[in-house]
Amino acid sequence: RVDLAESGGGSVQAGGSLSLSCQTSGYPADITCLAWFRQAPGKEREPKEIVATIYTGDGATYYADSVKGRFTLSRDSAKMYLQMRTLEPQDAADYYCAARPRWYHNGCPVRDWEYNFWGQGTQVTVSS
């Protein structure tokens, strides 16, 4: 069992910054991928959108094109972070952290259904 809990969401004006955290507990050694996903308002029926991933073995990261150069994913032994800069209105969404065990392929998965454990989400609002 893995428990994930996001924090740090809030409201910001376009161009501003926010930092999200994902507290992990009950962290089995076979968790190989951690990810941030998001889901924009009105898109609850659609798959969550990948934001970024990190492979726990070597720290390799992946970023969606829409956030590349603006968002930075990092982690330590207990938490995963998402530093978001130059936020745009289209970044407004509920942000979720997710974990996937036993993924040993090159690069972490980017589809929400490939992740087994999820946090409850934290809301980010960006006003123009």
Full DSSP string of 47-88: PPEEEEEEETTT--EEE-TTTTTTEEEEE-SSEEEEEE-S--
pLDDT of 81 over the 90 cut = yes
Higher pLDDT, 2 or 54: 54
Shortest CA distance to 4 belongs to which of 78, 54, 58?
Answer: 78
Binning pLDDT at 50, 70 and 90, where does residue 85 land? Answer: very high
Measure the CA–CA gap between 110 and 37, rounded to whole angstroms. Answer: 9
Cβ neighbors of 19 (< 8 A, separation 6 or more) are 8, 81, 82, 83, 84
Measure the CA–CA gap between 38 and 26, rounded to whole angstroms. Answer: 23
* 42-60 confidence digits (pLDDT tens): 999 999 999 999 999 899 9
Residues in the chain, overall count: 128
pLDDT of 115 over the 90 cut = yes
**pLDDT score recorded for residue 29:** 73
